[in-house]
Chains A and B, each alone.
Chain A
Amino acid sequence: MSPTAMPAAPRAGFLARRRRGYYLFIAPALTVIAAVIVFPWLFTLWMSVFDWKIGSVAHFVGLENYRKLLASTRFLESVVHTFYFTALAVIAPLFLGTAAALVFHREFPFRGLLRGIFIMPMMATPVAVALVWTMMFHPQQGVLNYLLSLAGLPPSLWVYSPTLVIPSLVIVEVWHWTPLVMLIVLGGLAALPTEPYESARLDGASEWQLFRYITLPLVAPFLVVAAVIRTIDALKTFDTIYVITGGGPGTASETINLYLYLQAFAFYNIGDASAVVVVFFVIVLALALLLLHVREKTKWS
């Protein structure tokens, strides 16, 4: 069966024939990809150059939708909100998740049980979680302000304040997704060799030095994986924000996704919404390239 056993002349023809046969086999997958990924993509691009509101006729407007977007302070603010939210919602769980993983990596009684409890938030449905947090954030009847009052602190406005709303929403994200980071890092810790630690201890390294110069560099690739997953999740967050604040107060927590939803499904401006999708895609692509670059770097070190 091996092609090397074939004589030289017919071999090329056979290979070509065989290659044609291969194309036949990838055809189904190619069709599916073309239908569910490529076509919607091209269609979105096509729609983004039209002024089209559901219920009226579409007009070709070229890049007008994009020009309007870039001139819209509301859209630009939503980009800023998205980055602000994403940065907090990636960094905070990374720190807390790593700390938690270090704790759970040690031996102590009921470790398995506590670990199980710790990852429970991950199993909860985002919308249900968001509804519960909405109640907890309530300035008069919420439990969070009650806890603050027990500690003798003044009540906070949480998601009802334009300045606190994004950090408050990040609290929900942190509660929900720190366990995921913990699991990834814990996996990394379990795979670490013990020899470097033993020799470092012999050399008189402190606990901090062990962590800083051995553990951290060795789990760095895992941290990058966690960061990539968290970034993807945080960028596309919609349910939590939509349920808790709907983008408010005013537009203080309106991210690109919420802006997009409003344009497409509340105002029915399909052209504008498609342009937002395209811009969002470019942003995601740029971030993905950046993260890949970071990942290559950690591998190399």
Chain B
Amino acid sequence: MANRDHETGPEAQRRRLLQAGLGAAALGAIPGAGQLAAGAQAPFDWKKFKGEKIEVFLVKSPRGDLLTRYHKEFEDMTGITVGSEMIPEQQQRQKAVIEFNSGNTSFDVIAISYHVQKRLFGKNRWMEDVRPLLADKSLTDPNLDFADFSKGGMAWATQPDGRIDSLPFNIDPWVIYYNKELFDAKNIAYPTSFPEIVDAAAKLNDPAKGVSGFVARGLKNANVPVWTSFLLGYGGGFVDAGGRLTTDNAAAIDAAKMYQTLLARYGPQGVAGFNWNEAQSLFLQGKAAMWLDGIGFAQPLEDPAKSRVVGKVGYGVMPAGPKMQVSAMFGDGEGISSFSRKKGPSWLYLQWASNKTNQFRMLQSASGAPVRNSAYLAAQTAADIKAPKQWIECMLTSARIAQPGLPIIVPVTEFRDIFGIALTNMINGADPAGELKKATAEFQPVLDKSEKS
């Protein structure tokens, strides 16, 4: 960097940070960037914890890569050394549970997947409530702009008792990727309701040409959000006020029937073993008309080295169900371990990780869907955005209608396993009502036990 000179004050650091991330042109486009400059007059001391060292524990993903890539920037800005460990999701989750359970963690900051770990971490109070930190003017950058975090993101980060034990980082609403070329060839419009999805899948399904009308996850455990995407649209839910599962009521059965029809009748052969990557590769080959999954796959779909459908991909908001229009949503964030002895430096890290610059970078590199509204507003005017325009619009609309795609309970993994098996069995011909009844009966005691202990 040319202007990396003897300026070392926090303002210079921040200026440098902005220049590095956005370029001068994008700077004006970011709401809050003006605020940022204004805030510079009331100096916030980023160097407060100079010389300390924190450990962060991330998940290997494009989001984890993004943060790791810019750790140097945080270190320069704060004088805090960052030691980071980044491992695949499944292993990260196991290690986290074991470390928290031992009552002492090797990390200070941890990445959390809300859709899997929120209730578990919240119930055990494994992460620090950030509200006192937020209120502390000496610890919180006045430019944090808390109101900029989207509602869906904050809903994820807030526990039922009001504790906010993390800062949200990205949300992942589920959308339908569709192949415009196949749709146009048969003169079919993007569906606006559930029956239209089934109808379009039926018309576009062409086994002779190896084209499937619809593809989504069929593999047990991974497949549950596909079903819940329909379930929410049918007005269904997971658990009623009395703690009873509602996963075998009429809405759940209708959703399961729709899942069965779409995957078993209009899906590819062997879809019962498909996770997102098999579904993705089919769609990349132009062999699937529609693919329902999380929004984070724009990058491979638009990559000419991997994809045969570059420029032909439509990004569709989840169509309205009979009761309501909902996009099932996942989400991730970062929190501070309750066992950490370096809460101050860790809080600075959290603020940096979820700041506007990093959020914008996420969008710019299409590595995920940021949780801050400002990132999208900035992206609408910025030039060097890799993500397609329709994807950004789809994201904005989906975020407005998003609801958690999995129940917020402790045994999420068991929920996904038990209902996942039921769904896989349905693909192989089992009766939806019977399977759901069995799965619900099997899971109810597991849920009861987890809430009791």
Instruction: Evaluate whether A140 and B210 lie within 8 angstroms (CB atoms) in the complex, with A160-B272, A160-B273, A250-B425 already known.
Output: yes
Q: Are B453 and A251 in contact, with the CB atoms below 8 A?
A: no
Of listed A138, A250, A266, residue having the most chain B CB within 10 A:
A250
- Enumerate A134-187 residues with CB–CB distance to B below 8 Å: 138-141, 155, 157-162
Contact B453 A56 (CB under 8 A): yes
A250 touches B269 (CB 8 A): no
The prevalent SS among residues of A at the interface is loop
CB <8 Å contact, A55 and B97: yes
Q: With A140-B287, A249-B272 given, is the CB distance from A55 to B101 under 8 Å? A: yes
A250 CB contact (under 8 Å) in B98, B220, B270: B220
Binds A, one of B24-32, B131-139, B393-401, B413-421: B413-421
Among A231-288, those with CB < 8 Å from B are 245-251, 262, 265-268
Q: Name the B residues within 8 Å of A140 (CB-CB).
A: 210, 268-270, 282, 287
User: How many of chain A's residues have a CB under 8 angstroms from any CB in B?
Assistant: 28
Give the residue name and chain of the A residue nearest to B425 (CB): A250
With A139-B270, A267-B414 known as contacts, the answer to whether A250 contacts B282 (CB < 8 A) is no
Query: Across the two chains, which residue of chain A brings its CB closest to B453?
Result: A56
B278 is an interface residue with CB less than 8 A from chain A: yes
* Contact indicator B272/A250 (Cβ below 8 Å): yes
- A115 at the binding interface (Cβ < 8 Å): no
The digit string for B428-453, where 1 denotes a CB below 8 A from any CB of A, is: 10000000000000000000011001
**Is A120 close to B, CB under 8 A?**
no
Q: In the complex, what residues of A have CB within 8 A of residue B281's CB?
A: 141
Q: Among the listed A57, A245, A266, which residue makes an inter-chain contact with B273, where contact means beta carbons less than 8 Å apart?
A: A245
Q: State the CA gap A267–B450 with chains docked (Å).
A: 11
**A248 with B268: CB separation less than 8 A:** no
Interfacial chain B residues near A250, Cβ < 8 Å: 220, 272, 421, 424-425, 428
Which residues of chain B from 224 to 279 have a CB within 8 Å of any chain A CB? Answer: 268-273, 278
> By CB atoms of chain A within 10 A, which of B270, B281, B428 has the most?
B270
Contact across chains for B270 and A248 when beta carbons are under 8 A apart:
no
Whole-angstrom CA separation of A158 from B282 in the bound complex:
18
**Which residues between 265 and 313 of chain B lie within 8 Å of chain A, taking CB atoms?**
268-273, 278, 281-282, 285, 287
A residues in contact with B449, CB < 8 Å: 53
Q: Is B411 positioned at the interface, with any CB of A under 8 Å from its CB?
A: yes
CA distance A8 to B124 in the complex (A): 72
CA distance A262 to B90 in the complex (A): 12
Tell me whether A55 and B270 are in contact in the complex, defined as CB-CB below 8 angstroms, given that A248-B219, A249-B428 are known contacts.
no
The answer to the question of A54 belonging to the interface, with a C-beta cut-off of 8 Å to chain B, is yes
Q: Give the complex CA separation of A268 and B287 in angstroms.
A: 39
The residue among A138, A140, A246, A262 with the most chain B CB atoms within 10 A of its own CB is A140
Residues of A within 8 A of B387 (CB): none
Question: Do B269 and A157 touch across chains, with their CB atoms under 8 A apart?
Answer: yes
Contact, CB under 8 Å: A248 / B424: yes
Interface residues on B, range: 35 or more
- Bound complex: CA A246 to CA B421 (Å): 12
| Cβ-neighbour of A249 out of B278, B411, B424 (below 8 A) | B424
A1 to chain B, nearest CB (A): 54
Q: How does the 8 Å CB contact mask read for B109-148 relative to A, with 1 for contact and 0 for none? A: 0000000000010001000000000000000000000000
A53, A157, A246: which contacts B270 (Cβ < 8 A)? A157
B94 within 8 A of A: yes
Contacts of B410 in A (CB 8 A): 55
Neighbouring A residues of B411 by C-beta, 8 Å: 267
Are A268 and B270 in contact, CB atoms less than 8 angstroms apart?
A: no
- Residues in A whose Cβ lies below 8 Å from that of B210: 140
Known: A54-B97, A140-B210. A160 touches B269 (CB 8 A): yes
**Contact mask B198-212 → A, CB, 8 Å, 1/0?**
000000000000100
The distance in angstroms between the C-alpha atoms of A70 and B100, with both chains bound, is 32
| Identity of the chain B residue whose Cβ is nearest the Cβ of A53 in the assembled complex | B453
Note all chain A residues with C-beta closer than 8 A to B424.
Answer: 248-250
Cα distance, A251 to B435, chains bound together (Å) = 14
CA–CA, A220 and B313, complex, Å: 63
Decide: A155 near B425, CB < 8 A? Known: A140-B287, A267-B413: no
Contact bitstring A198-235, B, C-beta under 8 A = 1, else 0? 00000000000000000000000000000000000000
Q: Which of B75-126 contact A (CB under 8 A)?
A: 94, 97-98, 100-101, 120, 124
Give the CA-CA distance A268 to B414 in the complex, in Å: 10
List 19 additional A-B contacts (Cβ < 8 Å) besides A53-B449, A55-B124, A246-B219: A53-B453, A55-B97, A55-B101, A138-B278, A139-B269, A141-B285, A157-B269, A160-B269, A160-B272, A160-B273, A246-B220, A248-B272, A248-B424, A249-B273, A249-B428, A250-B425, A250-B428, A251-B220, A266-B414
| List of 6 A-B pairs having minimum Cβ-Cβ separation, nearest first | A160-B270, A139-B270, A56-B453, A249-B272, A160-B273, A250-B424
Residues of B within 8 A of A (CB): 94, 97-98, 100-101, 120, 124, 210, 218-221, 268-273, 278, 281-282, 285, 287, 410-411, 413-414, 417, 421, 424-425, 427-428, 449-450, 453
